[in-house]
Each structure stands twice: as structure tokens, then as C-alpha cells.
Amino acid sequence: MLSFETVSQARCFNGTQFVYRHASQETGTPMRVAVYVPPQAKTAKVPVVWFLSGLTCTEENFTVKAGAQRAASELGLMLIAPDTSPRGEGVPDDAQGAYDFGLGAGFYVDAVQEPWAKNYRMRSYIERELPELIAQNLPADMSRQGITGHSMGGHGALTIALRNPERFKAVSAFAPIASPLNCPWGEKALSNYIGPDRSAWRDYDACALIEGGARLPDLLVDQGTADSFLESQLKPGLLEGACAKAGQPLTLRMQDGYDHSYFFIATFIEDHLRWHAQRLGV
């Protein structure tokens, strides 16, 4: 049985904030994941909320900047924040070191194009490998899982949940890339990772998945009106339209004056965790 190596741990709101490292069979690299274990886990398995981070991020951004541990401790939620991409010597990167492709920009896909196909398997890592490791090694109630994320991670949270509706009882997102088929970030990533056939991209587009019949009980999305990526990359109106046409319940909250930063996430993370807790039976 594969297991975690503890990189660090710190007491936090009567629980423990861990960072673990493990060898990934999917990515062929060492991977790091941050896990907050609340105090309730001392006596019983606890529900899980996954947080998928955005472009340029690692497992550290959410853990250090969002301030989520206080509410997670109160509610008894385990928070799992994986890295966004494979790391390590020999992992291919964008030739120009661009922030929106390559390392730090795994887009939660399973790449099929070379040289990306060997390592860039974040879909299978998040959907299969890491959940199995969590179940084997931690006091997690895997029958009660929620997922959320930010930007590229919001795209990941929505698409992973829409492809696996039986796994997630609660789904939300912060400023997600609503339709990678229709924005420069998505077109760059998917054309390189998946190839030129745009029909193959639909598995990685929340709007396309909803149009194709995928459904969830409900969705919560927060989006800042002062987000510099709002019109060019994120396009929440496309998600709103797809949900309205399909009858998919969606609560889209346009938050006046908020940008794309972790100040925005820190402001509304407690709302999201309480929304998840209610649906996870806490």
C-alpha cells in the first residue's frame, strides 16, 4: 500500500495542518498535497472538501492564504489541497516559461499529446489515485465529499464533479474558467495537451458537459466584478446560459469590487465551507 511521507505538520485551530509527499504512479513524479485534519477526526471519520488551485499555484497557496482552517475546524471538515501539476526533474515545461502552460498549469486533464502525455495526468491523479491514498491513510469519510476550486482549479472542480456526480455531494467554485473551449487559456492548454480535435476538449469544459447531459444537484459560483480576467478568460455568463438552458441549478453571485486574488477567496471561503457542510450532512 502506498503511503504518505510527512513534509510538515502544524497545530491549527485544534486540528493539524499537514503537507504530505508521495510517489505518484499517474504522473510518474513525486507529488505534494496539503491536508487539514480537523479535531473531530480524533474520534470519527470526517467529510472531505477538495480545493483545486489555479494557474501558477501549488498546494501551498490555498493552505497559507485562504484562512479556511478556522471554519473547517468548527465544521469538522477535512480540507485537501493538491498541487496543480506534476513537478520534478525531466518534467516538460513551456519552452518560454509561460505561466499559463506547462508547470503550474496542468489544467486537470490527462494529456495525450507528446511530450506531455507521460506526466500531465492530473485528471486521473485527482479522480482516482489521490482519493485512494486519502482513503487508505487518513480518517476521511469518502462517502461525503465536496469539491471547490479557483480559476483553473474552478474549471477542474466543475468538470471533475460533472464527470463524477456520484462522488460529490457538494460543488462550488471561485472565478472558474467556465468554458475552456471559448477562451485563450483553454485553447492554449487543450490544443497542446489534447490535440487539435476540439470535440475531444468537451470532457474538459463545464458548459459542454452540461450541454451533453451531465448534472449536479446544485452549484455555487462566486465571481468578482473587478476581476481583470472576467471578460477575456472566465466568462461566467456562458456557464449561466448553459445551466439555464439545461435546467441545471446554479447560484452565481457577482461580488462587487472583488478581484481574482486570494483576498477574494479569503472573503468568501467560509460561505463556501458552510454551503458544503450543509450538503455533506454536518
Residues 99-143: tens digit of each pLDDT? 999 999 999 999 999 999 999 999 999 999 999 999 999 999 999
Residue 266 predicted with pLDDT over 60: yes
Task: Give the pLDDT score at 85.
Answer: 97
Could you report the per-residue pLDDT of 224-265, keeping only the tens digit for each? 999 999 999 999 999 999 999 999 999 999 999 999 999 999
**Average pLDDT for 24-30:** 97
> Which amino acid makes up residue 44?
A
- pLDDT higher at 88 or 146: 146
Task: Give the pLDDT score at 3.
Answer: 84
Task: Give the pLDDT score at 78.
Answer: 98
In angstroms, the CA 233 to CA 224 distance is: 13
**Average pLDDT for 136-154:** 98
To the nearest whole percent, how much of the chain has pLDDT over 70?
Answer: 99
To the nearest whole percent, how much of the chain has pLDDT over 90?
Answer: 97
Task: Give the pLDDT score at 186.
Answer: 98
Could you report the per-residue pLDDT of 36-83, keeping only the tens digit for each? 999 999 999 999 999 999 999 999 999 999 999 999 999 999 999 999
The predicted model scores a pTM of 0.97
Q: Which residues are CB-neighbours of 196 under 8 A, at least 6 positions away?
A: none
Could you report the per-residue pLDDT of 160-173, keeping only the tens digit for each? 999 999 999 999 99
Task: Give the pLDDT score at 2.
Answer: 64
In angstroms, the CA 8 to CA 135 distance is: 20
- Which residues are marked as active site? 151, 227, 260
Could you tell me the sign of the dihedral formed by the alpha carbons of 170, 174, 178, 184, in that order? negative
